[in-house]
């Protein structure tokens, strides 16, 4: 009996078990040599891996196909969100927007670890701009003085944070989460004495672990008979599946997909997701009679109407509101409509949806590699001073690994990419301009000459969703706006995302139906 007929003869459960056992087990299906056996060379394989853990603050979003783009009239006539069917793979995204308390924890760590007198710019470039609350014809000094630090606003979404600052926060969060995982696993000592370059960084630990000893307590069992780590055990590797992938901003496609929360709206392979707002996917958002008619998001109802009338404040907020105050969408995500708009990773182009790929669409790739010759070091070394770009902006902190753009010379034999910067690929670069002469390699860009012919350039980023300051039109996930990556406002915040590795669903039995969060009765979340 051949393999195919044998599998057909088994029950579905037994067939699945057989397939899994043939792919794993305690010995190699290729050579027959035992895994994790020092007598057989010591090749290590995590045969007990049970799948990716959900990182702190994250919610799993099962990926799929959906129609991205406009779902209502384009009243501004921008024509920048033409509907297109795309797919996103499964990912994780924060349950709620990053709060003032979350961001203050980040700033506290910077003060604790770095010599701020010697590196003042590390702190100053991370501080949110509290002056975004000021207005020429509105009195908002209370927010300027209190919003970021007063305990009354502890769990309100942080604002005044640029796209660049949000990305750096995500990098910091990656390291702190993975550091805590190693502490909980007993591999690291708790509360280490870290300073300047001597702090935990995930990449340094993974790729230069032999030099990272500040927190080492006990390593994993090393099956290599010639191990250089001795009896103390070896450091954790990617192959162990213990450390999590990096936190990052969601892509525009991921954010829009998660905002719709279209669980249960798919009919076989026919995707029916023409929702206008994030709560359309639920048949009954507020099932209790005394909650019917309550506002489902924090936004501006009309000119001058930010919160309703005295005695009946319809959304309970003049500006922002604490996170988790309004009901979540069907993925269990809060404030995907209203409260604050949110940064996403993408570079803005009006015709992005006509250009990007159908799977994991994204514009903004800048391919980099580690810089082994940074400042003449001649080898990959941990930074002792901040690394700056040509504009003197800090791109890497002490204790991290230096990076540089990939070069065309080192990618001559590649077909999938050739250069480092693809932010303007096909849309606005010289090669796509009608004024570009391929023979002489001369010419000027036709479009996106920033600050000369347009306000759109390679440093212009997308932000999604409506805010407390916006009318209902912007609450639709299909709308999109843009701002320079180094700018910030009083109505833009952010939340983090993370890649899903391996299986695209959570159920180990490969359950295909994603269950909705159970909500017997909606109750406003209260931090107090």
Q: With 50 as the cut, is the pLDDT of residue 527 above it?
A: no
Sheet holding 91-94, edge to edge: 58-61, 91-94, 497-499, 247-248
Q: With 50 as the cut, is the pLDDT of residue 36 above it?
A: yes
Q: What tens digit of pLDDT does each residue of 207-259 get?
A: 886 566 677 888 888 888 888 877 778 889 999 999 999 999 999 999 999 99
> With bands split at pLDDT 50, 70 and 90, how would you rate the model's confidence at 125?
very high
> With bands split at pLDDT 50, 70 and 90, how would you rate the model's confidence at 112?
very high
Q: With 80 as the cut, is the pLDDT of residue 274 above it?
A: no
Angle between helices 100-113 and 163-184 (to 10 degrees): 70
CATH architecture, domain 57-179+246-284+292-364+461-528: Alpha-Beta Complex (3.90)
Which of 1-5, 142-146, 231-235, 512-516 bottoms out in mean pLDDT, i.e. has the lowest? Answer: 1-5
For position 227, what pLDDT does the model report? 81
For position 14, what pLDDT does the model report? 40
| DSSP single-letter state for residue 405 | E
Q: With 80 as the cut, is the pLDDT of residue 525 above it?
A: no
Q: How many CB atoms lie within 10 A of CB 18?
A: 14
Contact by Cβ (8 Å): 339, 316: no
The average pLDDT across 444-470 equals 80
- DSSP lists the bridge partners of residue 450 as 454
For position 408, what pLDDT does the model report? 92
Contact by Cβ (8 Å): 205, 187: no
For position 336, what pLDDT does the model report? 94
* Residues whose CB is less than 8 angstroms from the CB of residue 268 and which lie 6 or more positions away in sequence, other chains included: none
For position 447, what pLDDT does the model report? 54
The average pLDDT across 269-287 equals 61
Q: Report which of residues 220 and 375 the model is more confident about.
A: 220
Bridge-based pairing state of the strands 341-347 and 492-493: parallel
Tell me the range of 150-164, 180-194, 442-456 where mean pLDDT is highest.
150-164
Per cent of the chain over pLDDT 70 is 80
Q: Where are the domains of the chain?
A: 57-179+246-284+292-364+461-528, 368-422, 428-457
Tokens of 41: 């060379």
Q: Report which of residues 459 and 24 the model is more confident about.
A: 459
Q: What tens digit of pLDDT does each residue of 476-519 get?
A: 999 999 999 999 999 999 999 999 999 888 875 654 554 554 44
For position 379, what pLDDT does the model report? 79
Q: With 50 as the cut, is the pLDDT of residue 283 above it?
A: no
Q: Which of 295, 328, 299 is nearest to 314 (CA)?
A: 295
Q: Which pTM does this prediction carry?
A: 0.87
Q: Report which of residues 258 and 75 the model is more confident about.
A: 258
For position 510, what pLDDT does the model report? 52
> With bands split at pLDDT 50, 70 and 90, how would you rate the model's confidence at 6?
very low
For position 218, what pLDDT does the model report? 82
Phi-psi region of 135 (alpha: psi -120 to 50; beta: other; left: phi over 0): beta
> With bands split at pLDDT 50, 70 and 90, how would you rate the model's confidence at 443?
low
The average pLDDT across 322-347 equals 94
For position 521, what pLDDT does the model report? 39
* Residues whose CB is less than 8 angstroms from the CB of residue 462 and which lie 6 or more positions away in sequence, other chains included: 252, 343, 344, 346, 347, 348, 480, 481, 482
> With bands split at pLDDT 50, 70 and 90, how would you rate the model's confidence at 324?
very high
Q: Report which of residues 335 and 436 the model is more confident about.
A: 335
The average pLDDT across 364-374 equals 90
Contact by Cβ (8 Å): 284, 521: no
Q: What are phi and psi of 270, to 5 degrees?
A: -90, 115
For position 273, what pLDDT does the model report? 52
> With bands split at pLDDT 50, 70 and 90, how would you rate the model's confidence at 522?
very low
Phi-psi region of 349 (alpha: psi -120 to 50; beta: other; left: phi over 0): beta
For position 363, what pLDDT does the model report? 94
Q: With 70 as the cut, is the pLDDT of residue 10 above it?
A: no
* Residues whose CB is less than 8 angstroms from the CB of residue 386 and which lie 6 or more positions away in sequence, other chains included: 119, 121, 122, 394, 396, 397, 398
Contact by Cβ (8 Å): 373, 381: no
Contact by Cβ (8 Å): 110, 120: no
Q: Report which of residues 266 and 12 the model is more confident about.
A: 266
Q: With 50 as the cut, is the pLDDT of residue 160 above it?
A: yes
The average pLDDT across 275-296 equals 66
């Amino acid at each position: 009996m051949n393999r195919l007929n044998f599998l057909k003869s088994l029950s579905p459960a037994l067939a699945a078990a057989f397939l899994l056992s043939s792919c794993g087990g305690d010995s190699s299906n290729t050579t027959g040599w035992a895994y994790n056996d020092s007598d057989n060379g010591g090749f290590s394989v995590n045969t007990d891996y049970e799948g990716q853990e959900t990182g702190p603050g994250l919610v799993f979003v099962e990926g799929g196909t959906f129609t991205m783009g406009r779902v209502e009239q384009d009243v501004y006539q921008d024509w920048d969100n033409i509907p297109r069917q795309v797919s996103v793979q499964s990912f994780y995204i924060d349950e709620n927007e990053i709060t003032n308390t979350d961001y203050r924890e980040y700033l506290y760590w910077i003060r604790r670890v770095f010599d701020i007198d010697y590196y003042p710019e590390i702190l100053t470039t991370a501080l949110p701009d509290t002056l975004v609350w000021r207005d020429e014809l509105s009195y908002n000094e209370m927010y300027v003085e209190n919003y970021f630090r007063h305990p009354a606003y502890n769990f309100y979404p942080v604002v005044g944070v640029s796209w660049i600052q949000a990305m750096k926060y995500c990098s910091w969060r990656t390291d702190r989460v993975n550091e805590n995982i190693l502490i909980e696993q007993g591999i690291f000592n708790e509360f280490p004495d870290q300073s300047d370059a001597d702090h935990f960084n995930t990449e340094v630990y993974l790729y230069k672990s032999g030099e990272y000893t500040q927190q080492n307590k006990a390593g994993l069992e090393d099956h290599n008979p010639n191990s250089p780590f001795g009896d103390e055990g070896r450091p954790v590797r990617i192959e162990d599946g213990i450390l999590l992938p990096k936190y990052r901003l969601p892509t525009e496609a991921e954010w829009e997909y998660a905002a719709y929360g279209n669980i249960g709206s798919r009919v076989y392979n026919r995707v029916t997701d023409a929702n206008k707002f994030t709560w359309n996917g639920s048949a009954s958002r507020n099932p209790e009679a005394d909650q019917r008619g309550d506002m489902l998001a924090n936004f501006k109802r009309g000119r001058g109407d930010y919160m309703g009338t005295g005695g009946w404040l319809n959304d309970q907020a003049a500006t922002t509101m604490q996170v988790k105050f309004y009901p979540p969408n069907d993925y269990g995500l809060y404030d995907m409509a209203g409260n604050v708009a949110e940064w996403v990773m993408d570079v803005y182009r009006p015709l992005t949806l006509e250009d990007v790929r159908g799977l994991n669409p994204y514009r903004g790739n800048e391919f980099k590699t580690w810089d082994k010759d940074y400042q003449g070091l001649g080898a990959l070394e941990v930074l002792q001073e901040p690394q700056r770009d040509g504009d003197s902006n800090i791109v890497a902190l002490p204790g991290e690994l230096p990076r540089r753009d990939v070069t065309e010379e080192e990618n001559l034999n590649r077909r999938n990419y050739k250069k480092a910067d693809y932010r303007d690929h096909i849309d606005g670069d010289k090669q796509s301009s009608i004024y570009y002469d391929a023979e002489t390699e001369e010419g000027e860009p036709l479009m996106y000459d920033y600050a000369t012919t347009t306000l759109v350039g390679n440093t212009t980023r997308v932000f999604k969703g409506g805010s407390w300051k916006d009318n209902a039109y912007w609450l639709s996930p299909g709308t999109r706006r843009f701002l320079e990556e180094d700018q910030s406002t009083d109505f833009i915040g952010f939340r983090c995302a993370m890649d899903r590795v391996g299986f695209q669903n959570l159920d180990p039995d490969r359950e295909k139906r994603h269950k909705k969060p159970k909500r017997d009765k909606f109750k406003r979340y209260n931090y107090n």
